[in-house]
Copies of this chain bind each other. A is one copy, B any other.
């Protein structure tokens, strides 16, 4: 069977099976936003890695190398945020076409470095090689978190509230604009796509306050990512279309760009917002946190028993079927 027929998630499941882990120091291996390894009685090490390939994850013409560098790091920072951790050190493996101008690579690393400094992470190593075709950037980021506050995908219970930070679908619309040649780097939707802001502060605040029961970041689209929390927590979920937080720019541009008004918000990738579940008794704690951080945290639904699976309800109370599907690598 070809990889494209097997699909990304089946592939990852098979890989986990080949490499089952039995180390008591390992708190979480494959299957969450980052791996979690015990460091001492109180702290654990978080490790996440992402690979970005020119033509698949980015196009050079869509952003400056500095902004691209920032995004490469943000994608990893977002995974550490999703565990409620603090970033520490990063490592960059890069395959570079030999005719690339040095100034491009310098700006790329400057962008990574700027974003890293902002979030107190430091470059400690990497590997460089030639590439006969496209630019490939693979970053591994290490972070740290208190053991008793780390947030996993598996902590949700039926009846929890489902929240997201910020707004949804902006990045997907920004990408559509770029692909149609409509976007400028200053456009708010384009900016969300090329220069997303990882929610490190919010992730840490949610973890430290113990307000949330499960958390992950939204990288492949809300519906797809929600199913990871559902699967790992053994719950279902009901999402209300009319509660999805949409930016003013989304509301203005979406009708021109997408046939279905809600699809970019439900299935668009690369928002890098946090998706988290909250026991109802903690709802007020989340509202206070949102206020303190000046970051919107919107309740978009609730977890349910496992049986109904993922249900999306439209503004008339009608169940949406079939569900639109998100981005798949294969």
Which A residues are within 8 Å of any B CB, using their own CB? 1-4, 6, 8, 11-12, 14-15, 18-19, 21, 23, 26, 29-30, 34-35, 37, 39-40, 45, 47-53, 55-57, 89, 91-103, 105-106, 109-110, 112-113, 116, 122-134, 136, 138, 140, 142, 329-330
Q: Which are the 9 A-B pairs with shortest beta-carbon distances? A: A4-B98, A51-B93, A138-B138, A19-B123, A35-B124, A140-B140, A35-B125, A93-B138, A49-B91
Knowing A2-B101, A93-B51 touch, does A124 contact B56 (C-beta < 8 A)? no
Determine if B21 and A123 form an interchain contact, defined as CB atoms under 8 angstroms apart: yes
- The closest CB in chain B to the CB of A120 belongs to B23
Knowing A53-B131, A127-B51, A132-B55 touch, does A26 contact B122 (C-beta < 8 A)? yes
- Given contacts A3-B98, A49-B138, 12 further A-B pairs with CB under 8 A are A3-B105, A15-B123, A15-B128, A18-B106, A21-B122, A21-B124, A35-B124, A37-B89, A47-B142, A48-B125, A96-B330, A133-B133
- The closest CB in chain B to the CB of A126 belongs to B49
> 21 A-B pairs, CB-CB below 8 angstroms?
A1-B103, A3-B105, A6-B102, A15-B105, A15-B123, A19-B112, A21-B123, A26-B122, A30-B123, A30-B126, A49-B140, A51-B93, A53-B95, A53-B130, A53-B131, A55-B132, A56-B132, A93-B138, A93-B140, A129-B329, A132-B134
> In the bound complex, what is the Cα–Cα distance between A100 and B330 (angstroms)?
11
Partner of A91, one of B1, B129, B140: B140
Knowing A53-B131, A133-B133, A134-B133 touch, does A47 contact B125 (C-beta < 8 A)? yes
Instruction: Tell me how far the C-beta of A37 lies from the nearest C-beta in chain B, rounded to whole angstroms.
Output: 7
B contact residues around A19 at 8 Å (CB): 109, 112-113, 116, 122-123
Determine if B51 and A96 form an interchain contact, defined as CB atoms under 8 angstroms apart: no
Instruction: Tell me how far the C-beta of A126 lies from the nearest C-beta in chain B, rounded to whole angstroms.
Output: 6
Determine if A102 and B30 form an interchain contact, defined as CB atoms under 8 angstroms apart: no
Partner of A37, one of B1, B99, B124, B140: B124
